Amino acid sequence: MALFHLLPLAVALLSVPYVEGQVPGFGKCPTVQVQEDFDLSQYLGLWHEIERFPAVFEAGKCITANYTLKSDGHVRVENGENVNGQEKIAVGDAYIPDPKESAKLAVRFYDAAPYGAYWVLKTDYKTYTLIWSCGDLLDFGNVQFAWILAREREVDPAVMDDLHKLATGYGIDVSHFSKTDQTGCVN
């Protein structure tokens, strides 16, 4: 009987790679605070991925994200990675749905896809950014993404520790973070 009650959860979790991400959790998404007074113009430019939660759409090394403003006020998102010696680029679109919450962006990489959350929890614009995304699955689960990006390929360990503590304080399980290989990169 208990197995029967877990069937909806199993179905939802099996669909996770196609919906939101790879890190499932029980219950609703944790409550977090995003960056206050977020300034998109300072955020634009090239970032290097330092750590990430597992994601089916990222498999390589030397992962970057480059954000540029488009004429319609949206942001062109260009994610690059090296997969087995081949450069792969994914181009997406992001925007700020509510100017009162400017650190809560929405992003997508396919025109037919719905926009997903891209929330900037903390950034100093010049060194690091902590990004988080969470989607509720019915009333019993959630799926999370998280990234730590930096302007350089390495970040001071004390900064990383502070970002991990911040995320942990919100109930985000930082044990899911894995280090991105940024060695031997040309760009």
DSSP label at 130?
Answer: E
Give this prediction's pTM. Answer: 0.85
DSSP letters spanning 50-89: EEE---TT---EEEEEEEEE-TTS-EEEEEEEEETTEEEE
pLDDT in tens, 106-133: 999 999 999 999 999 999 999 999 999 9
Q: Where are the alpha helices (DSSP H) in the chain?
A: 2-14, 16-19, 40-43, 157-169
Question: What domains are there in the chain, each with its CATH number?
Answer: 26-172 (2.40.128.20)
Q: Tens digits of per-residue pLDDT, 47-57? A: 999 999 987 66
